[in-house]
Amino acid sequence: MAALSSVVGSSTVPQIRASWSLKEKDTYYSKRRLNSILSLPPRSSISSPLARLHLNHLSTRTRYPHEVGHGRSVFHRKKENTWKHYTSMLGEPVTEAPFSGQNACFCCNLNRRAARPTLKRSIPWAFRDKSTFHISKRDLGSTSVRLDHVLRATVGPDEPHAASTAWPDGVLEKQDLDISYPEIEQIDLDGFLSSELPSHPKLYRGQLKNGLRYLILPNKVPPNRFEAHMEVHVGSIDEEEDEQGIAHMIEHVAFLGSKKREKLLGTGARSNAYTDFHHTVFHIHSPTSTKDSDGDLLPSVLDALNEIAFHPKFLASRVEKERRAILSELQMMNTIEYRVDCQLLQHLHSENKLSKRFPIGLEEQIKKWDADKIRKFHERWYFPANATLYIVGDINNISKTVNQIETVFGQTGLENEAVSAPSPSAFGAMASFLVPKLSAGLAGSLSNEKSSNSLDQTKIVKKERHAVRPPVKHNWSLPGSSLDVKLPQIFQHELLQNFSINFFCKIPVNKVRTYGDLRNVLMKRIFLSALHFRINTRYKSSNPPFTSIELDHSDSGREGCTVTTLTVTAEPKNWQSAIKVAVQEVRRLKEFGVTKGELTRYMDALLKDSEHLAAMIDNVSSVDNLDFIMESDALSHTVMDQRQGHESLVAVAGTVMLEEVNSVGAKVLEYIADFGKATSPLPAAIVACVPKKVHVDGLGETEFKISPNEITDAMKAGLEEPIEAEPELEVPKELITSSQLQELRLQCRPSFIPLSPETNVTKVHDKETGITQCRLSNGIPINYKISSTEAQGGVMRLIVGGGRAAESSESKGAVVVGVRTLSEGGRVGNFSREQVELFCVNHLINCSLESTEEFICMEFRFTLRDNGMRAAFQLLHMVLEHSVWLDDAFDRARQLYLSYYRSIPKSLERSTAHKLMLAMLGGDERFVEPTPKSLQTLTLQSVKDAVMNQFVGNNMEVSIVGDFSEEEIESCILDYLGTVTATSNSEGACEFSPILFPPSPSDLQFQQVFLKDTDERACAYIAGPAPNRWGFTVDGKDLLKSISDISTADVAQPKSEELHMEGKDVGNDLQKKLRGHPLFFGITMGLLAEVINSRLFTSVRDSLGLTYDVSFELNLFDRLNLGWYVISVTSTPGKVHKAVEACKNVLRGLHSNKITQRELDRAKRTLLMRHEAEIKSNAYWLGLVAHLQASSVPRKDISCIKDLTSLYEAAEIEDVYLAYDQLKVDENSLYSCIGVAGAQAGEEITGEDGSDEGFPGVIPVGRGLSTMTRPTT
């Protein structure tokens, strides 16, 4: 279970998501918006009930065009999802802990960047799998809106009362669902709303005499680890005309040139860096100490950060090395999505430098700078008074930590001449978040704030260099503005497939410091949540003219403003109708407002989620807390902990009135709803991104024409359309009534039966892991684990064996389209899609349904409050027993895959990987997207049969992990799973045609793809066969048998001359255990992947300078007897062939350049530390227990979980070589495909069906990709 989260290393927040959905490609809005009030998922992505409402709180830091860095270990896991399908330990999809990673309270969320809508993949390496090439989670999926912190209209008997520090007598008493709060009327409401929010009680702030600010937060998750981030307040906005990209260059040179940072590599520490408009951040994640030494590692980490930030060596050799890397990075980033984002930023911020200073910089300038030029920029901006140090982690002694900070940084900068600190006015409009001032703190006066030295602060700041910081001035979208209306801007490009348009409104950031500020945010959330739900349910049952409509309202610390964005995407032929519908729905909500039922519903949901987050206060990871605090500092919001946030939220919830919600919300929508009126705010920009040509049936490729006036006319048409008020909707309290349940129990008589014919035991409980295994009388096996680490939260996964591998030659694509059809429909029994969605909203259920090559998987996150677990079980029962298959849902699903397939030729990465995959698997369509020809042969009945034939009792397995009692979980299991109709595996239901690698050698082993583009780029994929996780190969061999027969005496070597015989015996015993263990290949392949990735980076990226990003990935199946490895590399057209050869040399060079003990130890530490960091996550355990009772994965047993740590520790170098020798890396087995894009590309890519017809596809839209560099390593 080691590199569990090697897939996505951070968590997201609770979100209410469509009750079932495919996961979709990260769109800009689903990840960038810090304060994303509402991110309406694309129609194709919101599959079903439930769109996630979101009060913003995010977790993982993703990179955008405004953020660049050095990207190896991080970026290769986040780039276009061509090769990644993250699945659980044993191959099925895994989600992150349902409510894990919550950084803070509702208000705190205001500034979080919206993370991917899906849960983090917590996957142990030994069990990890990334099947590929179907429409992946990030390509088509479920971006829905998250209710990161949901509100509730009542405080029930079990909820804490709303005691606010500003309101000593308490705020609310127990209430019923009626939104009336008579108590509030009896107190001074104005006085309460103007009072300040409480500050985080454990957050300690200080400042050294040289001006360096520091923040310390003790945090126990993960244990014995800490985060140290040095934020220097300089970014691309500070660059002069001839310095564009130099801030990013310094980040690279300083970070990778640090010898002290390199010394930390053997300790288990991880480090990285990134640059954006206003900040450069260097961060180190480290253990508090190592096994080899009891010494505290914090001083060494601080010493490394001090060298990186303030004492770098600008060696000419390092400058040249990073110059090559950055030029490669620049080409790698320059996707069509990146270019779209740059266009949006350029028009949104046309009046200031944000439109002209993307951190990645300009190629012609990057090529010219010498070390002296770079050093001068560093001297100008890198000094302690212009930096903030954040330390969050398992720290027990604050005083000791402060002393360590003073010891390391205290004298830095004081050797230089000191002059007066600049006044705040010198910073211009952005001062409040560029360099947060302690006196103006996040909550006014900070009880834990302290200066480390009482010296006069005016005499200790290094130099008055902040004064030259260029201010950023915005043209605000405020009523009565004298600015002229901007015509819509149009960006047209041959690589675009969809029509998309963004309507921007830009206002100053409203700092959230008082209860009144928090109340305003809450009212906006409720208002916009209603809009999201309406759009995605009102039009879902028909075939709407839009692909997606998203409304986002969020604060951006990087841009220094709050931006409201209405984004509409559609097929080009429908663009006018799509704009009309979007404007019409915005008008309807603005004019009539939310209903009383909507207010009650969303308030209740927000409060429930907020309460859950408060209960999770001790389970928030250090990096999530740190990211949240950093963003809060940038926005000058008050930082509260989760408990304070919930109490504050409950307090303000009692003051919210329907009329005020509608009044506050209407102001957000005025720039659209009142477009053209003299009193309305002017849009900051309207930008349409459109294809140059579109596919028209019967005509082929046709030029796409559009004008600014036509866009304006479409908006006006929506403004003139008649509208009516929204009717109230009846929401079911339960999907199965008590009387219906009683009848089901009488009919089915559910019970637990013996796990095997040989024993009478009906339940097996393992005390060490806490896992219980049982089996229902209808044949469904159950695994559950009681865990209190995520208070009152739970996760559940249904795994159905078969997946796409079960598709026949006559029904290619049937499973994947069938799952999508079920997801698109969203109905169960007699309940409409809208009712099911709202049922999930009310119970805080998040559910997704997806198919992989091996399985169909349905996942639930739920809270145990207010019968949330029973509600989740009811929904699962209804899906299994009463799912509804609809013709229009089937049409949408098929059209979605058709669009996606036709968009492949417009993407360099997808088309290159697609061609390689077809070659390596002999054209087997089960591992790629279904072709138009295959899609046309499908019918509703054929896809229904393909899916439902797999849903039989002994082919299913349900696993549950959560904070429940044995009585509670077994009651739900018997009531709702035990009453599922008993069915046995029908003949051939889950059998599948064999999967074969073509005979070697093949004339398709080396291929190229050419893509016509205005800009040059190149990428390549190298792949070859591997065994599956359990040692089975495609040709029927069982490698585990042959491995276990090898005597350790033949290969074992002493670790050192001093090793005692007793130690040797113990080592040999452990090695024998590993070699005979079912997880031998899962363990050793994980270690091998770490070693190869490290060598690829060192050789291909760092030494040869042939790439910015290279990675090695293993795709190990569980049910299928095969696997494969993939090396992904990006480069330039001139270097890509050399990069491919260099990658092959690394891959094949492990025998000539032997793996060292140091490399193996580092790989072990990496994987085991990830395991330790995730072991408290419910989702991680869900991945561990998967397949324990799956007949198709016979080697998985409880020892695979219990022995995981000891197996990693037992692995020796020769074990890794035994795994390596099973990878086919010879010239006759290896496949490669190089993709080159540019104006001089040799030939255009055509579809696999022989046509070169374009078809509008799904393109992520937003302005995120251009404002931040990628992580540095």
CA 546 to the chain's CA centroid: 25
DSSP structure class, residue 107: G
Q: What is the pLDDT of residue 998?
A: 87
Which residue is associated with the tokens 């990935």? Answer: 1113
Q: Which residue has the tokens 């996630």?
A: 52
* End-to-end Cα spacing for the chain: 24
Per-residue pLDDT reduced to its tens digit, 267-314: 889 999 999 998 899 999 999 988 766 679 999 999 999 999 999 999
By the 8 A CB rule, do 900 and 140 touch? yes
464 included as an active-site residue: no
**Distance in angstroms (rounded) separating the CA atoms of residues 76 and 1128:** 8
Contact 37, 156 (CB under 8 A): no
How far lies 758's CA from each of 611, 761, 762, 1228, in Å?
Answer: 47, 9, 11, 48
Strands (E), 498-646: 499-507, 548-556, 561-570
Dist. CA 518–CA 198, nearest whole Å: 12
Q: What is the pLDDT of residue 994?
A: 85
* Residue found under tokens 């109905």: 827
Supply the pLDDT for residue 65: 52
- What is the layout of strands, in order, in the sheet containing 499-507? 489-493, 685-691, 499-507, 561-570, 548-556
Q: Which of 1117, 1082, 1114 is nearest to 1192 (CA)?
A: 1117
* pLDDT given for residue 999 in this prediction: 82
| Residue 65 burial (C-beta neighbours within 10 Å; 0-12, 13-18, 19+) | buried
The pair of three-digit structure tokens given for residue 1074, joined into one six-digit string: 């590993």
In this structure, what token pair is assigned to residue 1009? 């793809």
Query: CB neighbours of 1061 closer than 8 A, spacing ≥ 6?
Result: none
Is 1270:67 a contact under the CB 8 Å cutoff?
yes
Residue type, 230: M
- The residue type of 1216 is V
Task: Let me know if 1141 is a catalytic residue.
Answer: no
Residues forming a β-bridge with 828: 831, 883
Pairwise CA distance, residues 187 & 524, whole Å:
24
Residues 6+ apart with CB under 8 A from 1005: 919, 1227, 1228, 1230, 1231, 1232
Is residue 572 within 8 A of residue 67, CB to CB? The reply is no
Tokens of 473: 């001035």
What's the distance, CA 704 to chain centroid? 34
Is the peptide bond between 1271 and the residue preceding it cis, with omega within 30 degrees of 0? Answer: no
ω before 1027 within 30° of 0 (cis)? no
**DSSP for 981-1015?**
PP----TTTT------PPPSS-TTSEEEEEEE-SS
Comparing C-alpha atoms, which of 240, 345, 256, 260 is closest to residue 69? Answer: 256
Cβ-count burial 743-767 (b if 16+ within 10 Å, e if not):
ebeeebebebeebeeeeeeeebeee
Q: Which of 80, 239, 243, 322 is catalytic?
A: 322
Among 243, 251, 406, 449, the active-site one is: 251
Residues ≥6 apart with Cβ < 8 Å to 1074: 1080, 1083, 1207, 1210, 1211, 1215
The pLDDT assigned to 1173 comes to: 83
Those residues of the chain that have pLDDT short of 50 are 1-64, 71-125, 127-184, 186, 417-470, 987-989, 1048-1049, 1051-1061, 1243-1266
933-990 pLDDT per residue, tens:
999 999 999 999 999 999 988 899 999 999 999 999 999 999 999 999 977 655 444 5
**pLDDT of res. 1001:** 77
Q: Where would I find the beta strands (DSSP E) of 208-279? A: 213-218, 225-232, 270-275
Residues 6+ apart with CB under 8 A from 412: 210, 212, 306, 310, 311, 384
